[in-house]
Amino acid sequence: MWCLRFALTETATMAVTIKDIARATGKSITTVSRALHDYDDVSAETKQLVQRVAAEMGYTPNLWAQRLQKQRTDTIGLILPTQGPRLGDPFFGQLIAGVGDKAGEHSYDLLVSTQAPDADELAIYKRKVQGRQVDGFIIVRTRRQDLRIDYLRTVDVPFVVFGRTEGDLDYPFVDEDGTAGMEAVVEHLLRLGRRRIACIAPPAELMFAEHRLRGVQNALQRHGYPLEPDLMRRADLTQRGGLRAAQELLALPRRPDAIVACNDLMAFGAMSAAQKLGLVVGQDIAVTGFDDTPWAEHSHPPLTTVHQPIYEIGAMVCDMLIRILQGQTLEQQQILMEPRLVIRQSCGAA
Amino acid sequence: MWCLRFALTETATMAVTIKDIARATGKSITTVSRALHDYDDVSAETKQLVQRVAAEMGYTPNLWAQRLQKQRTDTIGLILPTQGPRLGDPFFGQLIAGVGDKAGEHSYDLLVSTQAPDADELAIYKRKVQGRQVDGFIIVRTRRQDLRIDYLRTVDVPFVVFGRTEGDLDYPFVDEDGTAGMEAVVEHLLRLGRRRIACIAPPAELMFAEHRLRGVQNALQRHGYPLEPDLMRRADLTQRGGLRAAQELLALPRRPDAIVACNDLMAFGAMSAAQKLGLVVGQDIAVTGFDDTPWAEHSHPPLTTVHQPIYEIGAMVCDMLIRILQGQTLEQQQILMEPRLVIRQSCGAA
DNA sequence: ATTGACAACCAAAACGTTTTGGATTATGAT
DNA sequence: ATCATAATCCAAAACGTTTTGGTTGTCAAT
In the 3-class helix/strand/coil scheme, how is B103-167 assigned residue by residue? HHHCCCEEEEEEECCCCCHHHHHHHHHHCCCCCEEEEECCECCCHHHHHHHHHCCCEEEECCCCC
Alpha-carbon gap, residue B63 to B72, rounded angstroms = 10
Give the three-class secondary structure for B50.
helix
* pLDDT reading at B12 higher than 50: no
Chain B residues inside the 8 Å CB shell of A80: 96-97, 100
For residue B171, count other CB atoms closer than 10 A to its CB: 18
CB proximity B277 to A under 8 Å: no
Are B289 and B195 in a shared domain?
yes
Are A147 and A182 in a shared domain?
no
Helix or strand holding residue B47 (H, E): helix B44-57
Chain B residues inside the 8 Å CB shell of A265: 294
CA distance B222 to chain A (A): 34
Q: How confident is the model at residue B5, as a pLDDT?
A: 37
Distance from residue A125's CA to nucleotide D13's C1', rounded to whole Å:
35
The residues pairing with A140 across neighbouring beta strands, listed in sequence order, are A162
Are A45 and A129 in a shared domain?
no
Give the three-class secondary structure for A202.
coil
DSSP state of A7: H
| Average model confidence (pLDDT) across chain B | 91
* CA distance readout (Å), A183 to A175, A234, B343: 16, 19, 40
CB proximity A62 to B under 8 Å: yes
Residue A212 approaches strand D within 7 Å at CB? no
Answer whether A85 sits within 8 Å of B131, measured CB to CB.
no
Are A32 and A92 in a shared domain?
no
Are B122 and B203 in a shared domain?
no
Strand C nucleotides with an atom less than 7 Å from a protein beta carbon? 7-22
Q: Is position A35 within any domain?
A: yes
CB proximity B295 to A under 8 Å: yes
Are B123 and B52 in a shared domain?
no
The total number of structural domains in chain B stands at 3
Q: Is position B70 within any domain?
A: no
CB proximity A236 to B under 8 Å: no
Distance from residue B5's CA to nucleotide D10's C1', rounded to whole Å:
25
Number of A/B CB contacts below 8 angstroms equals 171
Answer whether A311 sits within 8 Å of B64, measured CB to CB.
no
Q: Which residue of B has its CA nearest to A239?
A: B298
CB proximity A276 to B under 8 Å: no
Q: How confident is the model at residue B84, as a pLDDT?
A: 72
A236 or B119: which leads in pLDDT: A236
Are A287 and A329 in a shared domain?
no
Residue B27 approaches strand C within 7 Å at CB? no
Residue A28 approaches strand D within 7 Å at CB? no
Q: Is position A345 within any domain?
A: no
| Interfacial B residues in 103-162 facing A (CB < 8 Å) | 103-104, 109-115, 124, 127, 130-133
Are A229 and A274 in a shared domain?
yes
Q: How confident is the model at residue B311, as a pLDDT?
A: 93
Alpha-carbon gap, residue A161 to A12, rounded angstroms = 45
Are B211 and B167 in a shared domain?
no
Are B27 and B131 in a shared domain?
no
> In terms of Cα–Cα distance, which of A316, A262, A303, A269 is closest to A94?
A316
Q: How confident is the model at residue A108, as a pLDDT?
A: 96
Alpha-carbon gap, residue B332 to B310, rounded angstroms = 19
Which residues constitute the domain of residue A169?
A: 75-176+311-337
pLDDT band at B300 (very low <50, low <70, confident <90, very high): confident
- Mark residues 64-103 of chain B whose C-beta is closer than 7 A to nucleic acid strand C: 65-66, 68-70
Are B146 and B200 in a shared domain?
no
Answer whether A68 sits within 8 Å of B73, measured CB to CB.
no
CB proximity B252 to A under 8 Å: no
* pLDDT reading at B3 higher than 50: no
Q: Is position B345 within any domain?
A: no
Are B84 and B204 in a shared domain?
no
CATH code, A38:
1.10.260.40
* pLDDT reading at B7 higher than 70: no
For residue A108, count other CB atoms closer than 10 A to its CB: 22
Q: Is position B157 within any domain?
A: yes
Chain A residues inside the 8 Å CB shell of B82: 97, 100-101
pLDDT tens readout for residues B67-80: 999 999 999 999 99
Q: How much of chain B exceeds pLDDT 90, in percent?
A: 83
Give the start-end residues of each E strand in B207-331.
232-234, 258-261, 286-288, 305-307
Question: Is it true that the peptide bond before A301 is cis, omega within 30 degrees of 0?
Answer: yes
Distance from residue A64's CA to nucleotide D14's C1', rounded to whole Å:
15
CATH code, A235:
3.40.50.2300
Q: Is position A70 within any domain?
A: no
Task: Going residue by residue through chain A, which has 350 residues, state the pLDDT in tens, using 9 for 90 and above.
Answer: 333 333 333 333 568 999 999 999 999 999 999 999 999 999 999 999 999 999 999 999 999 999 999 999 999 999 999 887 777 677 888 899 999 999 999 999 999 999 987 778 898 999 899 888 999 999 999 999 999 999 999 999 999 999 999 988 999 999 999 999 999 999 999 999 999 999 999 999 999 999 999 999 999 999 999 999 999 999 999 889 999 999 999 999 999 999 999 999 999 999 999 999 999 999 999 999 999 987 888 788 899 999 999 999 999 999 999 999 999 999 999 999 999 999 999 999 86
Give the three-class secondary structure for A87.
strand
Distance from residue B8's CA to nucleotide D8's C1', rounded to whole Å:
27
The secondary structure of A129-165, three-state, reads HHCCCCCEEEEECCECCCHHHHHHHHCCCCEEEECCC
CA distance A65 to chain B (A): 6
Q: Is position B171 within any domain?
A: yes
CA distance B225 to chain A (A): 31
Q: Is position B33 within any domain?
A: yes
* pLDDT reading at B339 higher than 90: yes
